């Protein structure tokens, strides 16, 4: 890269997003990582070091997204890489799922994608370069009892990816999704031991993935070398589910 590109990673305070932010910083991007709290944002600034930024963003709020994007623009410049990673689960069987559990997962995982991506498109079009990388999940295709809200939210992420890829391809912007299987983070640490064992035995590679393995895939999709891949959802699940 002649001049360092600016990359925005949502949900970079921990787990997969933190690993992605670290990897992109190591690869020479100027990285903005988001957290939902001031403390989380400050910790990101500290962890990434000079030339990078931690910023508060709640993807459920258009105002919060606008304020964060303004701060990134002022400090680092226009992002041409965005990793839409922020996401939550609120598991329950459908019979017991509250409207609130349904709505909060859709609002964060799906509507958040709209709120963050739309305002970034103009800058990417102007640069005639862009990489939009959306974090889905193996659950979008495989399904999982107790996760109808989450599966719906991630299925939407994959459909969005295919549609937007067709809108912006002629401008040099690629749009892809990744669908991780079970990755060792706080999200999967919440699973009970019996479930974890059962899941592990269904994974061809016999283990959960590491966040740094997901980060390596994202770094590739962000690179020049991935310039002819768009509209795809790339599985990274250790052989848990083969499309
Ligand atoms: P995690 O450890 O629970 O971290 C979630 C991140 O999202 C945190 O940085 C959190 O910020 C942020 N976040 C939560 N709500 C937000 C909101 N309203 N606005 C902005 N940011 C918000 O999760 P993870 O396991 O790393 O998962 C990251 C992504 O990968 C998610 O999209 C998840 O669905 C997907 N995924 C994970 C797995 C897995 O096995 N872990 C598998 C497949 C897909 P705070 O720290 O400030 O709360």
**Are 176 and 232 within 8 A, CB to CB?**
yes
How far apart CA 27 and CA 4 sit, in angstroms, is 10
How far apart CA 136 and CA 144 sit, in angstroms, is 14
| CATH superfamily name and code, 6-236 | NAD(P)-binding Rossmann-like Domain (3.40.50.720)
| Residue 48 confidence (pLDDT) | 98
| Residue 179 confidence (pLDDT) | 98
Average pLDDT over residues 104-109: 98
Task: Please report which confidence band the pLDDT of residue 77 belongs to, taking 50, 70 and 90 as the band edges.
Answer: very high
Using the 8-state DSSP alphabet, how is residue 238 labeled? Answer: T
CA 26–ligand 1 middle distance (angstroms): 21
Place of tokens 């899941």: 199
Q: Which two tokens stand for residue 52?
A: 């990078």
How far apart CA 5 and CA 162 sit, in angstroms, is 24
The residue whose CA has the least distance to atom 10 of ligand 1 is: 11
Q: Which atom of ligand 1 is nearest to the CA of 109?
A: 32
CA 86–ligand 1 middle distance (angstroms): 5
Pocket probe mutation, ligand 1, options 40, 56, 87, max atoms within 8 Å of Cβ: 87
3-state secondary structure of 30: strand
pTM over 0.95: yes
Domain residue limits, the chain: 6-236
CA 139 to each of CA 142, 233, 236: distance values in angstroms, whole numbers, following the listed order: 5, 13, 12
**Are 29 and 221 within 8 A, CB to CB?**
no
Q: Which two tokens stand for residue 89?
A: 């689960």
Give the pLDDT confidence of 12-52 residue by residue, as tens digits: 999 999 999 999 999 999 999 999 999 999 999 999 999 99
Instruction: Examine the residue annotation and report whether 150 is marked as an active-site residue of this protein.
Output: yes
| Residue 120 confidence (pLDDT) | 98
Pocket of ligand 1 (CB under 6 A): 10-17, 34-37, 40, 57-60, 85-88, 108, 135, 137, 180, 182-183, 185-188
Q: Which two tokens stand for residue 40?
A: 């989380």
Give the pLDDT confidence of 150-188 residue by residue, as tens digits: 999 999 999 999 999 999 999 999 999 999 999 999 878
The residue whose CA has the least distance to atom 39 of ligand 1 is: 183
How far apart CA 243 and CA 240 sit, in angstroms, is 10
Annotated catalytic residue: which of 29, 150, 228, 241? 150
Alpha helices in 78-183 (DSSP H): 99-106, 112-127, 139-142, 148-168
């Amino acid at each position: 890269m002649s001049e360092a590109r600016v990359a925005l990673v949502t949900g970079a305070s921990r787990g997969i997003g933190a690993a992605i932010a670290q990897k992109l910083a190591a690869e020479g991007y100027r990285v903005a990582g988001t957290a939902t709290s001031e403390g989380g944002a400050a910790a990101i600034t500290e962890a990434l070091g000079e030339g990078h930024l931690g910023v508060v963003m709640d993807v459920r709020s258009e105002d919060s997204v606008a304020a964060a994007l303004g701060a990134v623009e002022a400090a680092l410049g226009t992002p041409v890489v965005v990793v839409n990673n922020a996401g939550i689960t609120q598991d329950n069987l459908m019979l017991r799922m509250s409207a609130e559990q349904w709505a909060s997962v859709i609002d964060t995982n799906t509507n958040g994608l709209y709120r963050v991506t739309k305002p970034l498109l103009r800058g990417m079009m102007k640069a005639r370069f862009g990489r939009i990388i959306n974090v889905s999940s193996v659950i979008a295709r495989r399904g999982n009892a107790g996760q109808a809200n989450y599966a719906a939210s991630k299925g939407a992420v994959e459909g969005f990816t295919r549609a937007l890829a067709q809108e912006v391809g002629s401008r040099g912007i690629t749009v892809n999704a990744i669908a991780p299987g079970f990755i060792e983070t706080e999200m999967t640490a919440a699973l009970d031991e019996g479930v974890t064992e059962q899941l592990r035995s269904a994974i061809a590679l016999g283990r959960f993935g590491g966040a740094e393995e997901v980060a390596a895939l994202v770094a590739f999709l962000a690179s020049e070398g991935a310039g002819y891949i768009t509209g795809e959802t790339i599985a990274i699940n250790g052989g848990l589910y083969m499309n």
